[in-house]
Structures are given as C-alpha cells and as structure tokens.
Chain A
Amino acid sequence: MTCSQIAEQRNQLTPATTPKTTAVHVSVEHLSKNFGATAVLKDVTFSVAPGEIFVLMGPSGSGKSVLLKHMVGLELPTAGRVALDGHDAAAATTRERVRMALVFQSGALFNSLSVYDNLALYPREHRLFNEAGIREKVMRTLQILSLENAVDKFPSELSGGMKKRVAIARALVMEPSLMLYDEPTSELDPVMAATISEIIATLREEYHVTTVIVSHDRELALGIADRVGILMGGTLAMLGPAMALRSPQDPRVADFMNPKINLQHPRFKQLET
C-alpha cells in the first residue's frame, strides 16, 4: 500500500468521524536507569514537541527500548523523569490523563483473540462506544490499514508485516495523543518497511499525534523523522534534524550510520583484542 492509496482511502472516510487528538509534549529530564550495577541510561535529556516525529536510533543494547518503556511507565527511572504534558510518566494516573499507545517490536497482539477482538478490546473495556460503534470504529481502522480481510483471523495466522499493521491498527483505535513504535520496520522486507514508514507518517498527518520511534532503520529516519536522537552507551551522542544524519560530526555516529565492511580488519577481531 502506497502513500497515495492510504490518502485515497482516507478521503473515502467521513470527515466527521475522523478522531481529534491533542498531541502531547514529551520531556525526558535527566533520565538515568540502572539494572543492578549496569547503567543503561545515563542522564539523558531531550524533548519531543507536540505533533513531531522523533526517531531514536542507536546500536543494539544502547538503551533505546528501555527509554521507550519509561515513556509509557512500564519502567521506573533510577533518577530523573519523563514528563508527558508535565505529568510524570511513571505515575499511575498519567495513563488516565494522556492516552498513549505503544506498538511493540513483536506486535504483542493478544494471541487468544481474533484481529477484530484485539482492536475492540480497548473501546470495550473503556466503554467508549456501544457494540455497533465499536464495530464501525474497528472496521474503519482496519480499512485504513488495508486489513479488512484479516478481521476474523488470529495473530498466529498473520504474516510479520500484517502483525505490525494490526499492532498499529490496535494502537490507532485508542486515538492516542502519543504514539510510540519499537522497531516498527524490523524483520520486514524493504517494501513492507517502506509501507510501514508511509503509514506512520500518514497517521501523524491524519491524527496529529506526537510520534516517537525506536529504530535501526536509516531509511525510515531520513524519510519521515523531523528530528533524530542517537543513543550510544546510554547517552545521547547526537540530537538534531534528520538531515544531520547525512553528515554526522561525531565519528561514532558516522560509523554507526555508514558502517563499512572491513574484511582486512574485522570489527569482531578488534573487539577480541
């Protein structure tokens, strides 16, 4: 599905039914996190403006996903805090004040529920609509993501790309103010990865949500991000507009963004010595 197809489907929808969300301001303030003696995040500070697409990149194990979990209150900080419109993300009441959705790397779909019930769970449990309203909302969301044919399927019957799209659809049903994506394009072929990037960008335009994406995907960052942060060893090695990724100043960031395969002096052998 291309951007134009998404836009075409979007235009077919009734404008009156388009949800209105208020994008949230995210502020990461001197955030540190230790797991035992290991410091995973060290005094990380940055902010994401309302409606912005912010991509957080970095090597595996640099603390990106841990930082993302702090934003939804799934991890508690050792020091510092994440504030969502001024509310501490670690406080239980923040989830009631700020509607946020996290698209997990694995999708984290409820395996015992069909695609329809996965999407209907949130509005049902929070009594947002009656059953007819929920059906309309779910079917409309599935239509946006071209998933109408998967409505009665179970997660085990879906391909990797479809699982990601169902996970995005489930997040979208929540009409969130803050959308978080954990590696949304990992394990996908390049075309499906581009499709997911297009969907994320289109949803930002459609719903005006603040978007934070954790990813290794350089194309995604250059294609849809407003700003990019590079996390290395628990600290921010770079923070700036996406275009700055094309010519990074920091040699570590330059190596990360444009790694050269060096068969004469392989990296893993340098690590051994």
Chain B
Amino acid sequence: MKPLTAFLDGFGSTWLLLVRVVSHSGSLPRQFHRFIDQCYLIGYTTMPIVAILSFFIGSVLALQAGYSMQNFGTQQFIGSLVGLSMARELGPVMVAILVAGRVGSAITAELASMKVYQEIDALETMNISPARILVMPRLAATLVMMPVLTIIGDLVGWFGGAIVADLTEIISIEPEAYFAVLRRYTHFSDVLNGLIKAELFGFAVVLVCCNIGLNTRGGPREIGAAVTRAVVVSLILILVLDYFVTQVLMLVSS
C-alpha cells in the first residue's frame, strides 16, 4: 500500500503546486529578473549539450537508415526520414530527457536542499510563497526555452544527418538532394507537433522536479534520493506522455 499512497500523495501535491503557481501567475512581471536567470540556466547553458547530442542523433539516424535503405535503393529519401523523426519525435523527446537530467535534477537538488536546511520554512514564515518565487519563474522560463531548444535540436540534427549522408560512401546523398527531400516531406505542422510535445514534456518535468524538491524531508541523504527519484519519474513521465500526446496529435491532425 505504501508505494500506492506515495504515488497518490505525489500526484495530488503536484496538482496542488500547479494550482498555487497559476494563482500567482499575475505576479510574473515582478519576477522578471528571476525569470531571466532561469531562462539563462534552463536555455542558454543547456544549448551546447542539446546541439552535440542532436548532431549525433541526426548522424546515427542517417547512418542506420541509409544502411538499411540502400538495400532497397531508396536512400534518396533519407532526408524525409531524418527530418520527420527529428521534428516529430527525437527532437522533443531528447531535449526533454536532457532537460530532465541536467535542469530537473539541479532544480530538485536546489529546492530539496532549501527544504532540508529550512530555507523553505523561512520563506513560509515570511509569508512569501515558494510557489511564487521559486516555481513560477522556472516554469515560465521552461515554457519559453523548450521550443528554442527543440528548434536548435531539430536543425542541428538535420545538419548532422546531411553531413553523414554526404560523407558515408554507401549513402552518398548530396546535401542539396537531402534537404530538398527533407523540405518536401517535413511540414511546418510536423515541427509544430514536436514543439507542442516539447512544451508539455518540459512543463511536466520541471513541475514534478520542483514538487519533489519542495516535499523532501530528512537530511543530505534524502536530497540525493530526491534527485534520483525526480530524474526517474521525469523519464517515465516523458515516455508515457509521449505515447498519449502522439495519439492525441495524430487524432487531431487526421
């Protein structure tokens, strides 16, 4: 029964945190400096790793697809495969996983540490809502930065695929041909689908990580345990959400 009650407890407290954040959303302009700080941390500092990872995901996608497609003589369509895969699926999912591992873990560690060392209690006695000054700027920054990171991931992934398609002997597709096919089969709606997914994944990950951090009890050991739990829950959440959001988006687009 304990895992079930813990799950229900976490589920309920996450929704309550969301309600509290929404109730404070009017004060976002006053949190502008915190919002900018979080944009820098969530967006700018994550960009290099997003670029590196996306480049190699696009590359390996082109390599694997090209290897299989050349058996059927269809390697000229490799641009469409890399374009669609990156835009609709791998771009948003990989960016969300990176945000969970890099940003979500840091958020949980910081908030858990503030909770354990009574800084959160101090805020509450000062009648300053932690949801307002700690959670809301992070969520707002995530909503702004997730599309930016995803677009960067898509573009770099596409270029990674183009380079591999050009330089790998068994594929040998010129970049012009690669991008011509990519443009023909990858539409704006595909990119938009990916951006919607990225927004949802990023929002869910940061909300869950904030909630786990704010509900940490105990000492330094529990901070480590909270970070592990936050990352594991985030990864599961991304993949579960991915399935259902994909279903809904397919239903809407059809």
Contacts and interface: CB of A to CB of B under 8 A. Distances in A.
A95 B128 CA distance: 10
A122 B128 contact: yes
A74 B133 contact: no
A104 B126 CA distance: 12
A100 B125 contact: yes
Interface string A86-130: 000000000110001110101011110000000001100110000
Interface string B89-123: 00000000000000000000000001001110110
B121 A104 contact: yes
A72 B122 CA distance: 10
B122 A108 contact: yes
B127 A74 contact: no
Nearest to A69: B121
B124 interface: yes
Counting contact residues on chain A (CB < 8 A from B), the size range is 20 to 34
Given A74-B124, A122-B126, A126-B127, A108 B118 contact: yes
Contacts of A74: 121, 124-125
A109 B127 CA distance: 15
A166 B68 CA distance: 67
Contacts of A126: 127-128
B108 to A, nearest CB: 16
A214 interface: no
Contacts of B125: 72, 74, 95, 100-102
A174 interface: yes
A126 B171 CA distance: 64
A176 to B, nearest CB: 9
Interface in B115-165: 117-119, 121-122, 124-128, 133
B118 A104 contact: yes
Contacts of B126: 101, 121-122, 125, 174
Given A106-B117, A111-B117, A125 B128 contact: yes
B127 A108 contact: no
Given A108-B117, A125-B133, A102 B127 contact: no
Interface string A54-85: 00000000000000010011100000000000
Nearest to B126: A122
Contacts of B117: 106, 108, 111
Interface string B2-28: 000000000000000000000000000
A108 B124 contact: no
A76 B148 CA distance: 44
A104 B127 CA distance: 15
A106 B118 contact: yes
A108 B124 CA distance: 12
Contact of B119 (A73, A96, A102, A110): A110
Nearest to B27: A125
A166 B122 CA distance: 13
Contacts of B119: 108-111
Contacts of B121: 69, 74, 102, 104, 108
Contact of A110 (B122, B124, B127): B122
A125 B137 CA distance: 14
Contacts of A110: 114, 119, 122
Contacts of A111: 117, 119
A11 to B, nearest CB: 29
A102 B122 contact: yes
A72 B127 CA distance: 10
Nearest to A174: B126
Contacts of A73: 124
A95 B127 CA distance: 6
A101 B127 CA distance: 10
Nearest to A113: B119
Interface string A2-37: 000000000000000000000000000000000000
Contacts of B128: 121-122, 125-126
Contacts of A101: 125-126
28 contacts: A72-B124, A72-B125, A73-B124, A74-B121, A74-B124, A95-B124, A95-B125, A96-B127, A100-B125, A101-B126, A102-B121, A102-B122, A102-B125, A104-B121, A106-B117, A106-B118, A108-B117, A108-B118, A108-B121, A109-B122, A110-B114, A110-B119, A111-B117, A111-B119, A122-B126, A125-B128, A126-B127, A126-B128
Given A100-B125, A110-B122, A121-B126, 6 more contacts: A72-B125, A74-B125, A102-B121, A102-B125, A111-B119, A126-B127
Per CB-CB distance, the 5 closest pairs between chain A and chain B, nearest first, are A108-B118, A108-B122, A95-B127, A102-B125, A72-B125
